[in-house]
């Protein structure tokens, strides 16, 4: 039995990339999937057999996770992409984006794109604020930093996310293998703003990436106030030394988080953006309570 990864769906068939030779093969699905109701997903590791010039998926190996939007399995990490020049993404949006991703994935690479049009001092400042993460300053246009990023994507499934216009698709384009880049771009849906089909793209150097369309708003309606700190690792780490176990680092006395903000160990903007999400989540909760009464 051969092993591969489902990279896309095309009208009843799936495209599988073989795990040993990296070749693409169009596969049918066994009828059993329809009976058991197990719907294969992009990202699934499968066992398949060859039947003539096609393949047939025989089984889906256990998934280690499933993302809901986009619906894809076995994602290892997220790549959160930003730009602080054109567009100038405010840090509040950077923090909301990272926090939102953290609800489902803990491994996050932060990419600051367009450093060709960003002042060096601004890049350094950004790196400092986000030093709790691996930060990759890159320029998709010049190719700066792309090879370092590539190393961190090898042999993994990475989903790209971030606001519109920051250069997600441009970065992915520079990561693709040469044949895909010059070849049939339309086939992969790449480069169009209307990308809707979920498909994994194999990158040079190994690994798969998933492009997603940019978004404008991020909501936090689905979490509890005390959970917000888990979306800010440096705040959550510091919380263990707060006087109260249930401290959410707002008005409580003996708050270690606030001490670290005072001393500059935790960036002020990170703390403020944490507080604004916390308050939003609280208001939301109270709103629900009001409605119930
Ligand atoms: N100066 C500069 N411009 C860039 C760079 N990377 C991308 N751009 C430009 O930024 C614009 C948006 O790039 P896209 O790659 O489409 O951005 P995106 O994040 O995929 O946008 P959505 O798909 O709308 O979410 C395009 O005009 C790119 O040419 C870069 O490194 N430097
Ligand atoms: Mg795009
Ligand atoms: Zn605290």
**Average pLDDT for the chain:** 90
Choose one of 83, 123, 144, 167 to mutate for the ligand 1 pocket test, by most ligand atoms within 8 angstroms of C-beta.
Answer: 167
- Cα separation of 118 and 85, whole Å? 6
| pLDDT(252) > 90 | yes
DSSP, collapsed to helix, strand or coil, labels residue 14 as strand
Q: For the segment 124-179, what is each residue's pLDDT rounded down to a tens digit?
A: 999 999 999 999 999 999 999 999 999 999 999 999 999 999 999 999 999 996 65
Residue 187 has pLDDT above 60, yes or no: no
Residues 91 and 57 in one domain: no
| Residue 115 CB–ligand 1 contact under 6 Å | no
- Provide the pairing of β-strand 134-137 with 201-202: unpaired
Q: Which of 84, 118, 80, 82 is nearest to 99 (CA)?
A: 80
Q: Is the pLDDT of residue 69 over 80?
A: yes
**pLDDT score of 263:** 98
Choose between 194 and 260: higher pLDDT. Answer: 260
Assess whether the C-beta atom of 174 lies below 6 angstroms from ligand 1: no
User: pLDDT of 213-239, one tens digit each?
Assistant: 887 778 887 899 999 999 999 999 999
pTM above 0.85, yes or no: yes
Which residues neighbour ligand 3 (ion) by CB within 5 Å? 242, 247, 249, 255, 257
For ligand 1, the distance from its centroid to the CA atom of residue 91, given in whole angstroms, is 19
Assess whether 46 and 158 both reside in one domain.
Answer: no
Q: Which residue has the higher pLDDT, 284 or 112?
A: 112
Q: Whose CA is nearest to atom 9 of ligand 1?
A: 167
Q: Grade residue 34 by pLDDT with cuts at 50, 70 and 90.
A: low
Q: What is the DSSP letter of 291?
A: H
In this structure, what CATH number is given to the domain that contains residue 251? 1.10.40.50
Q: How many domains does the chain have?
A: 3
Q: How far is CA 259 from CA 134, 229, 235, 256, in A?
A: 24, 16, 11, 5
pLDDT value at 191 more than 90:
no
85 Cα to the center of ligand 1, angstroms: 11
Instruction: Give me the pLDDT at residue 290, please.
Output: 62
Ligand at shortest distance from the CA of 113: 1
Percentage of the chain modeled with pLDDT above 90: 79
| Beta carbons of 171 and 80 less than 8 angstroms apart | no
**Given a cut of 60, is residue 292 above it in pLDDT?**
no
Q: Closest ligand 1 atom to the C-alpha of 85?
A: 1
Ligand nearest to the CA of 83: 1
The verdict on the CB of residue 4 being under 6 Å from ligand 1 is no
240 falls within a domain: yes
For ligand 1, whether the C-beta of 140 sits within 6 Å is: yes
The protein residue with its alpha carbon nearest to ligand 1, atom 23, reads 213
Position 198 pLDDT exceeds 50 = yes
Q: Is residue 216 part of a domain?
A: no
Residue 219 lies in a domain: no
- For residue 104, give its domain range: 67-210
Give the pLDDT confidence score for residue 188 in this predicted structure: 43
Task: Report the alpha-carbon distance of residue 167 to residue 114 in Å, rounded.
Answer: 8
CATH code, 111: 3.40.50.300
Q: Do residues 91 and 46 share a domain?
A: no
- Rounded to an integer, the average pLDDT of 241-267 is 98
| Residues 58 and 43 sit within 8 Å (Cβ to Cβ) | no
47 in Cβ contact with 1 (< 8 Å): yes
Q: 45, 62, 79: which is the final residue of a domain? A: 62
Q: What share of the chain is helix, strand, coil (3-state, %, to 5)?
A: 35, 25, 40
For residues 83 and 188, state if they share a domain.
Answer: yes
Task: Give me the mean pLDDT over the 74-86 stretch.
Answer: 97
Are residues 71 and 198 located together in one domain of the fold?
yes
pLDDT of residue 284: 83
pLDDT band of residue 1 (cuts 50, 70, 90) is very high
């Amino acid at each position: 039995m051969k092993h591969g990864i489902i990279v896309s769906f095309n009208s009843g068939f799936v495209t599988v990339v073989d795990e040993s030779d990296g070749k693409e093969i169009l596969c049918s699905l066994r009828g059993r999937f329809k009976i058991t109701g197990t719907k294969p997903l992009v990202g699934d590791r499968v066992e398949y057999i060859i039947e003539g010039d096609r393949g047939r998926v025989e089984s889906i190996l256990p998934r280690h996770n499933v993302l809901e939007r986009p619906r894809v399995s076995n994602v290892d990490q997220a790549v959160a992409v930003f730009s602080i020049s054109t567009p100038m993404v405010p840090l509040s949006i950077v923090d909301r984006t990272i926090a939102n991703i953290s609800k489902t994935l803990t491994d996050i690479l932060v990419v600051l794109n367009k450093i060709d049009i960003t002042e060096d001092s601004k890049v350094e400042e950004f790196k400092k604020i986000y030093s709790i993460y691996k930060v990759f300053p890159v320029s998709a246009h010049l190719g700066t930093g792309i090879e370092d990023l590539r190393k961190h994507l090898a042999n993994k499934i990475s989903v790209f996310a971030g606001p519109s216009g920051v250069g997600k698709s441009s970065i992915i384009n520079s990561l693709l293998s040469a044949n895909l880049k010059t070849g049939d771009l339309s086939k992969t849906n790449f480069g169009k703003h209307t990308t809707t089909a979920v498909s994994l793209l194999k990158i040079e150097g190994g690994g798969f990436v998933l492009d997603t369309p940019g978004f404008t708003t991020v909501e936090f309606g689905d979490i509890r106030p005390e959970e917000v700190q888990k979306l800010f690792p440096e705040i959550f780490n510091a919380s263990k030394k707060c006087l109260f176990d249930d401290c959410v680092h707002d008005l409580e006395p003996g708050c270690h988080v606030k001490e670290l903000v005072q001393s500059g160990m935790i960036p002020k903007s990170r703390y403020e953006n944490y507080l604004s999400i916390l308050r939003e989540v609280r208001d939301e909760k109270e709103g629900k309570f009001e409605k119930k009464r």
